[in-house]
Amino acid sequence: MYAKAGTREWIGLAVLAFPCLLVSMDVSVLSFAMPFISAHLEPSGTQLLWIMDMYGFVLAGMLITMGALGDRIGRRKLLLSGAVAFSAASVLAAYSTSPGMLIGARAVLGLAGATLMPSTLALIRNMFHDPAQRKTAIAVWTGAMTGGVTVGPIVGGLLLEHFWWGSAFLINLPAMALLLVLGPILLPEFRDPAAGRFDLLGSLLSLGAVLPVVYGIKELAVDGWAAGPAIAIVAGLLVGAVFWHRQRTIAHPLIDLRLFRRRTYSGAVSVNLVTNFALLGFNLYTMQYLQVVRGMSPLAASLWSLVVMPFIIAAMTVTGIVAKRIRPGNVIAAGLLVSACGLAVTTRVEVHQPLAVILTGAGLLAAGMMVATTLTADLILAAAPPEQAGAASAMAETGSELGGALGFAILGSIGTAVYHHRMAGVRVTGVPAEALRAARDTLGSAAAVPGRAGQALLEAARTAFTHGLNVTGLSAAVVLALAALGVLVVLRGVPVSAPAVEVDRQPQAPTHGRHEANVPRAEATRR
Give the model's confidence band at 482: pLDDT under 50 very low, under 70 low, under 90 confident, else very high.
very high
The DSSP letter of residue 2 is P
pLDDT in tens, 287-332: 778 877 888 877 787 788 788 888 888 888 888 788 778 888 899 9
CA distance 51 to 33: 11
Q: Could you tell me how many helices (H) and strands (E) the chain has, helices first? A: 20, 0
CA angle 276, 125, 118 (to 5 degrees): 45
How do residues 11-33 score in pLDDT, each as one tens digit?
Answer: 888 888 877 777 777 666 666 67
Read off the pLDDT of residues 401-421 as tens digits, 9 standing for 90 and up: 788 778 877 887 888 888 888
CA–CA separation, 158 and 148 (whole Å): 15
Radius of gyration of the chain (CA): 23
Residue type at 7 in one-letter notation: T
Nearest to 401 by CA among 97, 53, 43, 109: 53
Better pLDDT: 60 or 86: 86
Per CATH, which fold does 262-409+472-496 belong to? Growth Hormone; Chain: A; (1.20.1250)
* Statement: residue 158 has pLDDT above 90: no
Q: Give the closest residue to 259 by CA, choosing from 458, 421, 67.
A: 67
Confidence of residue 365 (pLDDT cuts 50, 70, 90): very high
Q: Which residue has the higher pLDDT, 89 or 7?
A: 89
Buried b (16+ CB within 10 A) or exposed e, 261-295: eebbbebbbbbbbbbbbbbbbbbbbbbbbbbbbbe
d(CA 160, CA 168): 7
Closest of 420, 437, 428, 432 to residue 456, by C-alpha = 428
Judge whether 458 and 446 are in contact, CB under 8 Å.
yes
pLDDT tens digits, one per residue of 468-481: 999 999 999 999 99
Cβ density class 397-435: b for 16+ within 10 Å, e for less: bbbbbbbbbbbbbbbbbbbbebbeebbeebebeebeeeb
pTM: 0.78
Distance CA 197, CA 331 (A): 40
Please determine, for residue 507, whether its predicted confidence score (pLDDT) is greater than 60: no
Q: Taking each helix axis as running N to C, give the angle between helix 263-288 and helix 389-423, from 0 to 180 degrees, rounded to the nearest 10.
A: 40
Q: Is 56 helix (H, G, I), strand (E, B) or coil?
A: helix
Above 80 in pLDDT, residue 101?
yes
- Residue 29 is classified by DSSP as G
Q: What is the mean pLDDT of residues 482-492?
A: 90
Give me the pLDDT at residue 31, please. 64
pLDDT digits (tens, 9 = 90+) for 215-257: 887 777 666 778 888 898 899 899 989 988 888 888 787 777 8
Whether pLDDT at 526 is above 60: no
* Helical axes 328-346 vs 356-383, angle rounded to 10°: 160
CATH architecture for segment(s) 1-193? Up-down Bundle (1.20)
Q: How far apart are CA 166 and CA 41, in angstroms?
A: 12
Q: 223, 242 in Cβ contact below 8 A? A: no
